[in-house]
Each structure stands twice: as C-alpha cells, then as structure tokens.
Amino acid sequence: MSTPQLITVLGATGSVGLSTLDVIARHPARYQVFALTGYTRLAELLALCVRHTPQFAVVPTTAAARQLQDDLRVAGLDTRVLVGEGGLCEVSAHPLVDTVLAAIVGAAGLRPTLAAVEAGKKVLLANKEALVMSGALFMQAVRRSGTVLLPLDSEHNAIFQCLPRDYESGLEKVGVRRILLTASGGPFRQTPLAELEHVSPDQACAHPNWSMGRKISVDSASMMNKGLELIEACWLFDTTPARIEVVIHPQSVIHSMVDYVDGSVLAQLGNPDMRTPIAHALAWPERIDSGVAPLDLFSIARLDFEAPDEVRFPCLRLARQAAEAGDSAPAVLNAANEVAVAAFLDKRIRYPEIASMIDEVLNLEPVVAVSELETVFEIDARARTLAEQWLDRNGR
C-alpha cells in the first residue's frame, strides 16, 4: 500500500477544519495530518493534536506557543509549535506536505494559502476571501506553479463536478451557457424588511440548513457570501459575472448547476454537509466515504427556486458591481465587509448598516490596477481604515 498523504489543515479549529479532520480520520491509510493551526480556540487545538498527532502546530503568539508546547509535552507528544504568519507559511510550503487545506477565515488566510500554491502543493480552497482579494495574482501563481487547486466551497465544488475535465480550455469551448449559483437565502429570506433593523447576531448566525463559522453565517444572511462566491467562481472557472446567475433554492439540496448550450442543465445534489465536497476534493479523481448520510429525496419531497431580491439583499448587488468593476474593487469589498461583519457581531452596528458601510467604502476608494501582492495588502488596509472611520462616525 502507498504511504499516506501528508496534510496541513490551516484553520483546523474552525467549522471546515473540523469537518476535514472527521473525513481524514475515516481514512488513516490514505491521509495523515502533518500540521494543524488555530488562532483563539487553543484548548481545542491541543485536543486535536492529541487526537491526530501532527508534526507541527501553529498558534498566533509566542506566549500561546510556549503554553501549547508545554501542554503537548505533558501529553507525551513531540509536535513542534510554530508562531504567526511565518509559521503558517512554513507548514503550508513544507517539503513533506502533499496537500494543504485552506480554511482560515478572511484575509488572514491569503499569505499562507499563496505559500502553498507557490510551493506546488495540492490546495483545497475554502478560504474564498483570499481569492476575492487577489484573484488575478492568485490564479497567475496557480498557473506558474502548475499546482492542483480544488474548490471546497460547496457551490464551486458542485460546479467543478458538473464541468467536463477539459473545462480549463474555456467554458464556451465546452458548451457552457451559464453557471447557476444556488443560495439558500439564509435566515432572513422571508423576514419583513422593517424587522431587519432589529435582528441580532445570533439570529443572523442561525442558518436554516448549514452549520458554519460566525463570519460566513452573517455573510450568508446578507447574501454577501453569494457575492463573494460569484467573484470566486469568475476566477476559478475563468468566466465573467454576466455568465453567472444566482438562484435562491431554500432547501440547499442542489449545490449549484451548469447550463449547457444544448439545453442540458447538470446539477450536483447532496445533503448540506461540508464533508461531501471535502471528501470529493481530498480524493479527486477517486471517491471515498465522507460519513454523510445518503440523500433521501422522498423526505425532501420538493425543490423550490426564486430570483434574489436586491432590495432585501443589497450586498449581493454591491458584490456584483465590484465583480464587474474588477481590479482592486473586490479587495475593497472584502475588507469593508470583514470590518462590517465584525462590527455587527460586536453589536456596534445594525444589520442593514453592513451594506451601507460597504457601499460608502466602495464609493470612496478608487478602482486601481493590481499587479503586486503588496498592493493588495495596501488596498485592504486603506479600505479597513475607511470602514473604521465610517464606524467612528456612525457606530455605537
């Protein structure tokens, strides 16, 4: 039997990280954990190290590293603890690593994910913000290194499964008319508009179908998540926003579709559980058990579809505008959204103000060409400053 693949899980303590470790643990002969990273949930990281015995763990500070290293020693483990972004990049690009699972949330994931790409690792991408911020540079790096980049985001994984193997020659060449990106519509799909002023972070995080981290849960409620996914899809499948239609499908059973010129529409269905796209991407082009229950179509009984309402979901409109503007606009959108969502979760702004803040920052920050990664970080920092200034003026 061949030796197990060594895997680095960036963001191991999060929702996607934990689902990944669940799938990996089902296939010990195929996969072994090389490194695990955490940020605030360090007791959980210790428990994961005990369970998966990685060679490395990464934490944000020297003090946290000292503590974890002591705890690991007491637990009888020789896992080495590394610190900060340097540590994250080291375990992403380490010569022994085969596959890197990018599941840090937000802009913080960009450098370590790019380090994996540049080192030619197989990269399984959940961290959509990294691609939204730096799409052109990120995809150039993918092509330069020849790495295999597979989407974990359930919609993009579904689209990938519905495309032919040679789709990289161009979607038009393989007969694709449109991509149909499905969205659940989140917890506020039917909430009276006047009540949105008063919804709480916990209500926003109570997704009807998926269990996820808090940032992406708020993004799903506002449909900014779908906007980020629209941009993500443009980069992953080398297409334009005009070729992507967002379809609200409240049951979250169809994870996205591809519409071909002959009238065929291919869809990927499954229970809403991230272990399916994770298992698909881990084993691709093979198939392995993910632990997800078989789909019971009789209990689902019906599949509904609606067009998204841009009055209810202004973030979707803002994201489409940023996608169409291109260049630096998606990075500005992403940065403003990260600040806005954190402020909403901290109860400093009301839910509708998420869109107001992003709209203003997009209007203030000019669209510029981006040819270097440092420019992306400068734009990100400027947009965050503008968003903070908006908060100082309007927040609580």
> Facing residues of 122 across strands?
99
**Residue closest to 319 by CA, chosen among 245, 224, 239:** 224
Q: DSSP assignment, residue 238?
A: T
Round to whole Å and give the CA distance between 287 and 276.
10
Under the criterion CB under 6 A, does residue 131 sit at the interface with ligand NDP?
no
Under the criterion CB under 6 A, does residue 370 sit at the interface with ligand NDP?
no
Q: Which residue is nearest to Mg ion (CB)?
A: 153
Round to whole Å and give the CA distance between 286 and 73.
38
Name the helix (H) or strand (E) containing 317. Answer: helix 314-325
Under the criterion CB under 6 A, does residue 127 sit at the interface with ligand NDP?
yes
Strand 265-269 and strand 254-260: the pairing is: antiparallel
Which of the listed partners (ligand NDP, Mg ion, none) does 14 bind, with a CB threshold of 5 to 8 Å by partner kind? ligand NDP
Under the criterion CB under 6 A, does residue 103 sit at the interface with ligand NDP?
yes
Over its C-alpha atoms, the chain yields an Rg (Å, rounded) of 21
Name the helix (H) or strand (E) containing 100. Answer: strand 99-102
Cβ neighbours of residue 153 closer than 8 Å, sequence gap 6 or more: 125, 126, 128, 229, 232, 277
State the number of binding residues for ligand NDP (CB under 6 A): 26
List of residues contacting Mg ion (CB under 5 A): 153-155
Residues in contact with ligand NDP, shown as a per-residue x/- string from 260 to 299 under the rule CB under 6 A: --------------x-------------------------
| Closest CB to ligand NDP among residues 41, 177 | 41
Query: Least distance to ligand NDP from the beta carbon of 261, Å?
Result: 29
The CA-atom distances, in angstroms, between 152 and each of 32, 276, 375 are: 19, 9, 27
Under the criterion CB under 6 A, does residue 87 sit at the interface with ligand NDP?
no
Q: Which residue is nearest to ligand NDP (CB)?
A: 14
Reading the block at residue 65, the tokens are 């590293």
Residue 84 backbone phi and psi in degrees, to 5: 70, -165
Query: Least distance to ligand NDP from the beta carbon of 29, Å?
Result: 26
Residues in contact with ligand NDP, shown as a per-residue x/- string from 205 to 244 under the rule CB under 6 A: -----x-xx-xx----------------------------
Under the criterion CB under 6 A, does residue 40 sit at the interface with ligand NDP?
yes
Give the annotated binding-site residues for 1-deoxy-D-xylulose 5-phosphate: 128, 154-155, 184, 207, 220, 225-226, 229
**Chain residues in the site for ligand NDP (CB under 6 A):** 11-17, 38-41, 103-105, 108, 126-129, 153, 210, 212-213, 215-216, 274
Give the annotated binding-site residues for NADPH: 13-16, 127, 129, 213
